[in-house]
Structure 1
Amino acid sequence: MTIQPRLLSDSERIDWLRLIRCENVGPVTFFRLLERFGSAASALAALPDLARRGGRTKPIKICSKARAEAELDDAARLGARAVCSGEPDFPALLAATDGAPPLLYVRGHSSLFGRPCIGMVGARSASAGARQFARKMAWDLGQAGVTVVSGLARGLDTAAHDGSLETGTVAVVAGGVDIIYPPENAGLYHRIVEMGAVVSEMPPGTEPQARHFPRRNRIISGMSAGVVVVEATARSGSLITARYAAEQGREVFAVPGSPMDARAAGPNGLIKDGAVLTQGAGDILDLLDDLLRRPFREPPGERFSGPAPAIPDESALVRARRDVLEALGPIPVTVDEIIRQCQLSPSVVSMILLELELAGRLERHPGHRVSFLPEA
C-alpha cells in the first residue's frame, strides 16, 4: 500500500545514498529493488547475488558506508542537504514520475517545492526581446504565487530566474549543487541560494558533463505542472525538456515567434503539434488550476510498503531467464511485450531484468523499454 511521506532516519538516508551510487543502479532499478526487498539495506545485501545470477563474472562495485557518509558531509559543509523521495520536502510531482531520482541535494528553501511550479526554458542565445518577455512572464507568475523552475543556463534560463528571484525561483543544475555553470552566473547563483533554491541529483563537486543535461531537464519538467518554451531552435535542448514534459503528462506551453527567426522554430513547431499558444502569464494561470487537479501517476514501487512479491524458485527462474534472454535484443522493446511473449508473470520478468541490469547486460530506455547489452 502507499505510505504517508516521512523523514528517513540517518542510517536509512545513508543506505539510500549507497544504493543509488552502486554500479549499474539507476533510479528505475533503485525503486524496483526497494519494492522487491523492502529496504535499501536489504537491497544492498542482495546486489552481489543478483548480479551474479544475471551473468556477471566480476564483483559488482557497491558504494561503501564511509563514501556515502563523506558525500553527505561534503554537502553539509556547503549548506546543502539530501532530500529523499517520500520525504515531505521532496517535490511531490517529481516523485510521481518514472525515473525520478531517489535523492536530491538542495541549497536554499525547499518550501518553494510545495507551491505550484512552472518550468521555463529556451535558447541560450536568446534575443533581447525574448529575454525581456521571459523576465516579465516569470515576474507575473511569481506574483501569482507560482515557483518558476529553470536550469541556470545563460540566455532564457537566466532571464526566467531574474524575473522570479524576489518571489522564489528554483535552479536545477546538471553538475554538483556547488558547481556554478556557466561561471558568469555566479552572482545569480548566490542570490538564488539566498532567496530560492538550487537543486541537483549529482554528488557535490561533480563537474557538469553533456550526459548530465538530459537528466537535469527531466527534473525541471518532472517537478513542474507545465513547461513553457520561449525561444528555441529546431534542435535546441529545450525541446528535449518539452518532450519530457509531454511524456510525464505535463502541459507544454510555447511562445510563438517570427518564422523568419530560427530561434522561433522550436516553439512554433510545438504549437503546431498541440502545445498551448502562450502570449503571457495569463495563458498559463488560466490552465494552472486544472493542471494541478490532474492525477499524477506514481511509478510502480515508489513509496510502497508491505510484503514484497514472492521470489520464484530457482528452477522456474532458470527457464524464465532463457525465455527472457531470447526475447531481448539490441532494439529496445517494452517490458509489457516481453511479459506477453514469454507468458511470464510481471514479478518474474522484473526480477530477471533486475539481475541483467545489475550484471551490466541490460539498458533501460524511456517508455518502459529495455534492450540487451551483450558485453557484461
Structure 2
Amino acid sequence: MSADTLARLRLIRTRSIGPISYFQLLQRFGSAQSALDAIPDLARRGGGTLPRIPSPAEIEREAETVASLGARYLICGDPDYPALLAEVDTAPPALIVAGDVALANRPCVAMVGARNASAAAVRFARMLAHDLVEHGLVVVSGLARGIDTAAHDGSLDRATIGVIAGGIDIVYPPENDRLQRAIAHRGLLVAEQPPGTEPRARHFPYRNRIIAGMGQGTVVVEAAPKSGSLITARLAAEYGRDVMAVPGSPLDPRAQGCNLLIRDGATLIQSAADVIETLRPFGRDRVAAPKIGFEGPVGTGDASDRDRRAVVELLSQSAVATDEVIRQSGMPSALVQTVLLELELAGRIDRHAGGRVSLR
C-alpha cells in the first residue's frame, strides 16, 4: 500500500469526516497527509474536540483483513472506480469490492423494490433482470429481501452487482448467505463500510446512493410510499439519471409508490424493451467530463468567530440545504463551506443526503 493510499484511508476512516468533507480537505490541502496534519487546527477552530484519526497500524490491519477476504479497495480517482458513481458529489471516497471489477464500468441499471413483495412482482423482477442482462446491461441491486433478491437471481448467471450496507464479510439478511457469496464469485460485491461492520439503519441510505449512482437509471418494482426504494429513485433523479417504475393495482399498498412515481413523471415499464428504450439516449451529448467527488468552492482563508456564529445561528437539529444557509447568511459560498467543514470536524454538525446539514 502506498503512503498516499494509507493517508487517504486514515482520512476516510476518521469518524467525523464524510465524503463531502473528505473531498473538500483534499481540494484545500492538496494531499491526504497534509489534510491529516491540518485536522487538529480545523477542529479547534470549529469549537469542538479533535476527532480520532486511525493510526497507520489500524489501517494496515484493515487492509490485511480485506485481502484475506479476497477483496480489494477502489479509491475514488482510481481507473477501476465506477465512473458514473464518481460523478456524484457524495461518492464514497473508497469502496471495498470482491469479484469482477470490470462490471462496474459497463452499462448498469439499478433495480429496487419492496422487501415484502408479491409473488407476481418477484417473478416479474426476476424475468426483467434476466432479459436486461441478455441485452448487455448489468443489474445493480441491494441484496435485500424481495425484489432485490429476485433481481440478483435473474441476473446472476450473466452480470449482477450487489451493494451491501455493512462490511463485505457480513451477510444480511442471513438467508441470502449463499446468494451473497455467489455474487462475490460470479458478479461483483460492493461495500462502503469496513470489514466487520454490522448494517445499521443509518447505513442503508448510504448504500442506496451507491446503487442509484452506479446505474444509468433506476427501475422500481413495487414500493410503498416513503420506502427506501423511493429514496433510491429520488437520488437517481437528483443525479440526472432515468427513473422508471412498474405500475400496479391501486388497491395494493405495495404498488402505491410506483404509481406515484409514474404520476410524477417516471417512465412506465412493462418489459426489458421499455428499459432499453429509456436508457438508449444515455450518454449522448454528455460533454461534461466525470468529476471526482466534490467540486464546489472551498475557502483557503480563515473564518472569523463572527462568521462561525452567523452560520451556527442559522442551523438547528432540522436538516437544511447548504445553499439555503449560504443564501440567508449573505456570506460567500467558499466561506460558508469553510465554516461547515470546521464544524463537521469538530463534531458539531451532521451532513445528510441532498446536501443538507443539521446541528448534532
Into which bin does the TM-score normalised by the smaller protein fall? Answer: over 0.9
Per the TM alignment, residue 299 of structure 1 is displaced from its structure 2 partner at its CA by 9.3
Per the TM alignment, residue 192 of structure 1 is displaced from its structure 2 partner at its CA by 1.1
Aligned counterpart, 1:86 = 77
1:37 aligns with 2:26: no
The residue identity in structure 2 corresponding to 1:311 is T
Per the TM alignment, residue 324 of structure 1 is displaced from its structure 2 partner at its CA by 2.7
| SS state at 1:291 partner | coil
1:338 aligns with 2:329: no
- 255, 258, 270: which one aligns with 1:267: 258
Check 1:25–1:186 CA distance in 2 against 1; reply closer, same or farther (3 A cut). same
Report if the CA contact (8 A) 1:150-1:220 is conserved. yes
How far, CA to CA, are the matches of 2:254 and 2:287 in structure 1?
32
1:231 aligns with 2:218: no
Aligned counterpart, 1:156 = 147
How far, CA to CA, are the matches of 2:194 and 2:227 in structure 1?
27
Aligned counterpart, 1:52 = 44
Per the TM alignment, residue 336 of structure 1 is displaced from its structure 2 partner at its CA by 3.1
The residue identity in structure 2 corresponding to 1:325 is V
Q: Between 239-248 and 292-301, report the one with greater CA deviation.
A: 292-301
The residue identity in structure 2 corresponding to 1:368 is G
Report if the CA contact (8 A) 1:83-1:90 is conserved. yes
Percent of matched pairs sharing the same residue: 55
Aligned counterpart, 2:355 = 368
Report if the CA contact (8 A) 1:120-1:148 is conserved. yes
Matches within 5 A, 1:300-315: 302=293, 311-312=300-301, 314=302
Q: Between 147-156 and 58-67, report the one with greater CA deviation.
A: 58-67
Aligned counterpart, 1:143 = 134
Q: Between 326-335 and 207-216, report the one with greater CA deviation.
A: 326-335
How far, CA to CA, are the matches of 2:251 and 2:56 in structure 1?
57
The residue identity in structure 2 corresponding to 1:38 is G
1:258 aligns with 2:249: yes
The residue identity in structure 1 corresponding to 2:19 is P
Per the TM alignment, residue 329 of structure 1 is displaced from its structure 2 partner at its CA by 3.6
- 171, 175, 183: which one aligns with 1:180: 171
Report if the CA contact (8 A) 1:98-1:298 is conserved. no
How far, CA to CA, are the matches of 1:367 and 1:297 in structure 2?
21
Per the TM alignment, residue 264 of structure 1 is displaced from its structure 2 partner at its CA by 1.2
- 14, 18, 24: which one aligns with 1:26: 18
Check 1:164–1:300 CA distance in 2 against 1; reply closer, same or farther (3 A cut). closer
Give a deviation string over 1:238-269, Cα, whole Å, max 9, x none. 11211211122211110011122222111111
Aligned counterpart, 1:109 = 100
How far, CA to CA, are the matches of 2:128 and 2:236 in structure 1?
19
How far, CA to CA, are the matches of 1:298 and 1:327 in structure 2?
35
Per the TM alignment, residue 357 of structure 1 is displaced from its structure 2 partner at its CA by 0.9
| SS state at 1:367 partner | coil
How many residue pairs get aligned? The number is: 359
- 215, 220, 233: which one aligns with 2:211: 220
How far, CA to CA, are the matches of 1:297 and 1:219 in structure 2?
21
Aligned counterpart, 1:5 = none
Check 1:318–1:117 CA distance in 2 against 1; reply closer, same or farther (3 A cut). same
Aligned counterpart, 1:324 = 311
Gaps of 5+ in 1: 1-8
How far, CA to CA, are the matches of 1:343 and 1:261 in structure 2?
48
1:13 aligns with 2:2: no
- 272, 283, 298: which one aligns with 2:274: 283
Report if the CA contact (8 A) 1:100-1:219 is conserved. yes
| SS state at 1:290 partner | coil
- 228, 235, 239: which one aligns with 1:244: 235
Report if the CA contact (8 A) 2:90-2:294 is conserved. no
How far, CA to CA, are the matches of 2:146 and 2:87 in structure 1?
30
Report if the CA contact (8 A) 1:93-1:296 is conserved. no
User: What TM-score does the superposition give when structure 1 sets the normalisation length?
Assistant: 0.89
Q: Between 332-341 and 119-128, report the one with greater CA deviation.
A: 332-341
User: What TM-score does the superposition give when structure 2 sets the normalisation length?
Assistant: 0.93
| SS state at 2:304 partner | helix
Aligned counterpart, 1:347 = 334
Aligned counterpart, 2:343 = 356
Gaps of 5+ in 2: none
Report if the CA contact (8 A) 2:349-2:358 is conserved. yes
Per the TM alignment, residue 209 of structure 1 is displaced from its structure 2 partner at its CA by 1.2
Q: Between 17-26 and 341-350, report the one with greater CA deviation.
A: 341-350
